[in-house]
Amino acid sequence: MDLGLFFQKPPWSKSLLQVQPAVRSSVYPIHHLLQANHQPTDVAQEVTEALVATGKHKLLLLTRTDTAELSSNNAFPNITWITTDYDGLDGLSETLQGVDTVLSFIVTHSDPGNTAQKNLINASVRAGVKRFAPSEWATSSFEHLPWYAGKAEIREYLAELNKDKKVLEYTFFQPGQFTDYLCYPYKSSKHIHPFQTQMDFHARRAIILEDSEDARITWTTAKDLANVVAKAVEHEGEWPVVGGIRGDEVTIGEIIALGGPFIVEKLKAEDIKAGIVKSSWLPVVDHPSLSPAAVEAMAKGFLSGMLLGISAGVLKVSNEWNRLLPDYEFTRAEEFLTEVWESKP
């Protein structure tokens, strides 16, 4: 299912409308059809509920499927479903009339050529949308992370769009790595699907590159990301292009120490670059957007990319939204993981 989520201000306060104009965000193409899954992505749901909790927005969700069943299962007030094919620029532009902000949660590897997301961007410009957040929700750099190629292309597309003059304000929400993933196989948030990583707290084991213990990673909880997005939607100032969200910044060695004692396997970078993975196990990245066959096929490549990427600093993000929201208190990794794991076997 392809799904788009938009948020609009309720009309009960003119002053509110003047300060915080209509907002519409897109939880948009989700492509869980491969899994016969008719729910939005986990990140999208976290953000949606954070926005609903403010009580300041009306939500319009776009989908390619019949909206009758979706509407009947809707547990939130102020949410309306709208069917669209995402292909017709005229139709999308009409839907976006009067919209201030669009948030996209498209699963980019399921959108060949980024056609759907580019259409949404173009429709946003045509409709006079002020703000757009593409489907980032990850990290600062995609070096060694080929599965994020679609995100990189959208970055270039937006830069080209504003090359001569700014026609669309946009930000890349970049939380780094979700701290929630270190809670696998347990869920630490309502919607985030935990999957096994190369730092497996449950089995107390890790796979790292040699001499990478001091490599730094930004860890942000899903709850903090969702709360920051909700606050960003109401932020009166200009959005930064790079929107780093730094929940905490911890080295590999420090993270392992939090869950220790760990059995740590250290691989050589030259082996990884040559396509040789000598670990005794491989993380199972069973993300909802991936089929079982895809999970198995990409296991070695995913591990290799993550190890090389971490060593290159790609999971370390900046702190633009921390500085713009100085009163917001982020959850530290140690605090979060201690609370989750202290009662677990």
Q: Parse the chain into domains and list their residue ranges.
A: 3-175+221-247, 177-219+249-316+331-341
Task: Count other Cβ atoms within 10 Å, centred on residue 199.
Answer: 25
Helix axes 115-127, 149-161, angle to 10 degrees: 30
- pTM score of the predicted model: 0.86
> What is the distance between the alpha carbons of residues 204 and 255, in angstroms, rounded to a whole number?
11
- pLDDT at site 75: 59
Query: Which residues share a beta bridge with 38?
Result: none
> What is the distance between the alpha carbons of residues 179 and 171, in angstroms, rounded to a whole number?
22
Q: 340 near 183, Cβ under 8 Å?
A: yes
Given 3.40.50.150, 3.90.25.10, 3.50.50.60, 3.40.50.720, which CATH number is that of 3-175+221-247?
3.40.50.720
On the question of a cis peptide bond just before residue 11, with omega within 30 degrees of 0, the verdict is no
Indicate the pLDDT class of residue 2, thresholds 50, 70 and 90. Answer: very low
Which span out of 1-10, 41-50, 88-97, 330-339 was modeled with the highest average pLDDT? Answer: 330-339
Distances (CA, A) of 121 to 161, 167, 187, 211, 234: 9, 11, 34, 42, 21
Indicate the pLDDT class of residue 108, thresholds 50, 70 and 90. Answer: confident
> What is the distance between the alpha carbons of residues 135 and 152, in angstroms, rounded to a whole number?
10
> Bigger pLDDT: 341 or 6?
341
Question: To the nearest whole number, what is the mean pLDDT of the chain?
Answer: 83
